[in-house]
Amino acid sequence: MFRTKRSGLVRRLWRSRAPVEGDGEADRGTHGSGGCCMGKTTKVAKSNAGSEAELKALTHSILKKIKEKQLEVLLQAVESKGGARSPCLLLPSKVDAKVGQQSYSLPMLLYKVFRWPDLRHSSELKRLSCCESYGKINPELVCCNPHHMSRLCELESPPPPYSRYPMDYLKPPDSPDSGPSSSDTGGTTYSAPVGLSDSLALQESGDRAHWCVVAYWEEKTRVGRLYSVQEPSLDIFYDLPQGNGFCLGQLCSDNKSQLVQMVRAKIGYGIQLTREPDGVWVYNRSCYPIFIKSATLDNPDSRTLLVHKVFPGFSIKAFDYDKAGSLQRPNDHEFTQQPRTGFTVQISFVKGWGQCYTRQFISSCPCWLEVIFNTR
């Protein structure tokens, strides 16, 4: 019996589906199976044989109705885990599929099968700005490419104890027992001029087109020059099959630490930094968690600064311009010490920092970023 190209694509797609607990496969971090960004993970138990067979039959039935070119697009996105640039997969949005007693829209079914088996509702998702369906309300055709979506990071309240920063750590730079920079004291920026010299030069040269600059650090040493960002979206990665942006793998590092080398190798697809109408979003494209600290993620009345853990496949609004404006209080040390380029967000790869870690400050993390926003 001859097998068609379409049936071959369908079989490859089914083999590339997102694993659920009990599949006998290691949990794939790229699918981001987590309940929220603060550390609670919710794995889906493997379905019983009947529902698994039903899901397979339904998925095969739907995929066989999709054009071969569209199947190739979907396969490219799924097999590369979002590393290859794949176009939108535009399909009817109002087609429903039923598994057991549960009914799903066509996009939701594909998202569950190929990325997040624990996905419950479309409200848990955020469409990436690269998608044609981004910002459109109820279009007849909607993009069903699972890697044009991300999970929304939900912040817990109150925060877990490991993420709290007592205000005792926020000492003025001239304090006798303070470190060489406020990065070492848990602050949102550092006062050491070496880290800002390049960005200040950008401002003084009249280049106001950039909306942020990015610095890459290994422990207390900055590696490479500041990267000025003009485009609305920036990929920051160590190794990406198809991508342009800030490639950390091309930076020469003199750091011989085995931990630094190990974490560098785990950065992989890294993150995507995107300026959108409601703020700046960070999408974790890597296979490992990232950790973020930003003043606009905190309660304005809080006396603590929080570090938020963001799992693979999740997005978080790391910076809010409106909130940033309201946080500029004249007597607040945290903001009067800000550099002229604006506010700063700190992001560490793989390893976090805080009171429940051996690393109390981000300057002890093997690999981390400082994103300095130009709010002018």
Q: Residues 296-344: pLDDT tens digits? A: 887 766 666 788 999 999 999 999 988 887 776 544 444 444 443 358 8
Q: Examine the domain organization and report whether 221 and 349 are in the same domain.
A: yes
Out of 128, 152, 176, pick the residue that ends a domain. Answer: 152
* Burial of 228: CB neighbours in 10 Å, binned 0-12, 13-18, 19+: middle
The answer to whether position 206 is within a domain reads no
Q: What is the CATH number of the domain that holds 289?
A: 2.60.200.10
The answer to whether position 289 is within a domain reads yes
Q: Examine the domain organization and report whether 129 and 245 are in the same domain.
A: no
DSSP alpha helix (H) spans, the chain: 5-15, 49-63, 68-79, 106-114, 197-204, 258-267, 321-326, 333-336
Q: Examine the domain organization and report whether 311 and 237 are in the same domain.
A: yes
Out of 100, 125, 152, pick the residue that ends a domain. Answer: 152
Pick the range with the lowest mean pLDDT from 31-45, 59-73, 147-161, 272-286: 31-45
Helices 106-114 and 68-79, axial angle in degrees (round to 10): 40
Q: Examine the domain organization and report whether 131 and 230 are in the same domain.
A: no
pLDDT tens by residue, 106-153: 899 999 999 999 998 989 999 998 898 888 877 788 899 999 999 998
Looking at per-residue pLDDT, the higher value among 33 and 287 belongs to 287
Q: Examine the domain organization and report whether 353 and 246 are in the same domain.
A: yes
Out of 152, 171, 190, pick the residue that ends a domain. Answer: 152
363 band by pLDDT with thresholds 50, 70 and 90: very high
The whole-angstrom separation of Cα 248 and Cα 232 is 19
Looking at per-residue pLDDT, the higher value among 278 and 22 belongs to 278
The whole-angstrom separation of Cα 190 and Cα 370 is 10
**How far separated are the first and last CA of the chain, in Å rounded?**
67
Q: Residue 268 pLDDT > 70, yes or no?
A: yes
Q: Examine the domain organization and report whether 277 and 355 are in the same domain.
A: yes
- In angstroms and rounded to an integer, the radius of gyration of the C-alpha atoms of the chain is 22
Can you tell me whether residue 373 is helix, strand or coil?
A: strand
Indicate the average pLDDT of the chain.
Answer: 77
Residue listed under structure tokens 């999709």: 66
Q: Examine the domain organization and report whether 342 and 227 are in the same domain.
A: yes
Q: Examine the domain organization and report whether 147 and 220 are in the same domain.
A: no
The answer to whether position 221 is within a domain reads yes
CB 292 within 8 A of CB 310: yes
The number of domains in the chain is 2
In the prediction, which pLDDT does 46 show? 53
The answer to whether position 351 is within a domain reads yes
The answer to whether position 341 is within a domain reads yes
pTM of the model: 0.80
In the prediction, which pLDDT does 21 show? 63
Q: Residue 294 pLDDT > 50, yes or no?
A: yes
In the prediction, which pLDDT does 137 show? 76
Q: Examine the domain organization and report whether 245 and 350 are in the same domain.
A: yes
Residue span of the structural domain in which 68 resides: 5-13+52-152
The answer to whether position 190 is within a domain reads no
Q: Examine the domain organization and report whether 347 and 225 are in the same domain.
A: yes
